[in-house]
């Protein structure tokens, strides 16, 4: 089974590689001995992320999530990086393809399927819903120092 590689790290950062996105199918997420999800890898723990989680998932043609799910308090953003498929939220189905982005509130009943002929590649970002404020939009600090590449 494929493993995440740590690339670099320091006091304020961690960098990882999940490998070539075309090889995500080599990952298998095991939720229990009976529930194994091929082509899915979570990266938040490997990055030591403290405010959210993310996962990549590769759906081969004709495959799907296989279940509906909700969250207690986490909102999710789904970014579709290649392929085409269908997304379902609260019984409403709509097409997704490269460049599609879907936001789902915690209570939204969601699922994904690949009804296309090529692999469907998705990046999902999960974070606590209803926490971003107007003050957060101005959280960045521009530093008055040059960028030096070395």
User: Does 144 map to a domain?
Assistant: no
- Is 21 a domain residue? yes
Domain of residue 73, CATH code: 2.60.120.10
Q: What is the pLDDT of residues 9-37, one digit of tens each?
A: 999 999 999 999 989 999 999 888 988 88
Q: Sign of torsion, CA 18 22 26 31?
A: positive
Is residue 149 situated within a structural domain? Answer: no
Chain-centroid distance of CA 84 in Å reads 16
- Indicate whether 139 belongs to any domain: no
Q: pLDDT tens-digit profile of 118-142? A: 999 999 999 999 888 888 888 899 8
Q: Is residue 61 part of a domain?
A: yes
State the pLDDT at residue 138: 86
* Domain membership flag for residue 68: yes
pTM higher than 0.85, yes or no?
yes
For residue 20, CA distances in Å to 76, 102, 130, 139, 142 come to 24, 24, 34, 33, 33
Q: Provide the 10 A C-beta neighbour count for residue 80.
A: 21
The tally of domains found in the chain comes to 1
Q: What is the pLDDT of residue 36?
A: 87
Does residue 79 lie in a domain region?
yes
Range of the domain at 114: 5-130
Over residues 83-94, mean pLDDT: 98
- On whether the CB atoms of residues 117 and 127 are closer than 8 A, the answer is no
Q: How much of the chain, in percent, has pLDDT values that exceed 70?
A: 99
For tokens 């909700």, the residue is 70
- Centre a 10 Å sphere on the Cβ of residue 30 and count the other Cβ atoms it contains: 11
Residue 148 is assigned to a structural domain of this protein: no
- For the cut 80, the answer to whether the pLDDT of residue 1 exceeds it is no
């Amino acid at each position: 089974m494929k493993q995440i590689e740590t690339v670099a790290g320091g006091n304020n950062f961690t960098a990882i590689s999940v490998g070539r996105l075309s090889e995500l199918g080599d990952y298998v997420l095991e939720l229990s001995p009976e529930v194994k999800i091929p082509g899915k890898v979570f990266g938040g723990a490997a990055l030591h992320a403290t405010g959210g989680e993310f996962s990549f998932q590769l759906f081969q043609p004709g495959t799907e999530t296989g279940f509906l799910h909700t969250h207690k308090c986490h909102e999710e953003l789904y970014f579709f990086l290649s392929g085409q498929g269908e997304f379902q939220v609260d019984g409403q189905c709509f097409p997704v393809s490269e460049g599609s982005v879907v936001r789902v509130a915690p209570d939204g009943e969601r699922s994904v399927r690949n009804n296309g002929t090529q692999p469907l590649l998705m990046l999902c970002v999960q974070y606590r819903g209803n926490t971003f404020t107007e003050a957060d939009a101005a959280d960045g600090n521009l530093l008055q120092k040059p960028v030096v590449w070395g």
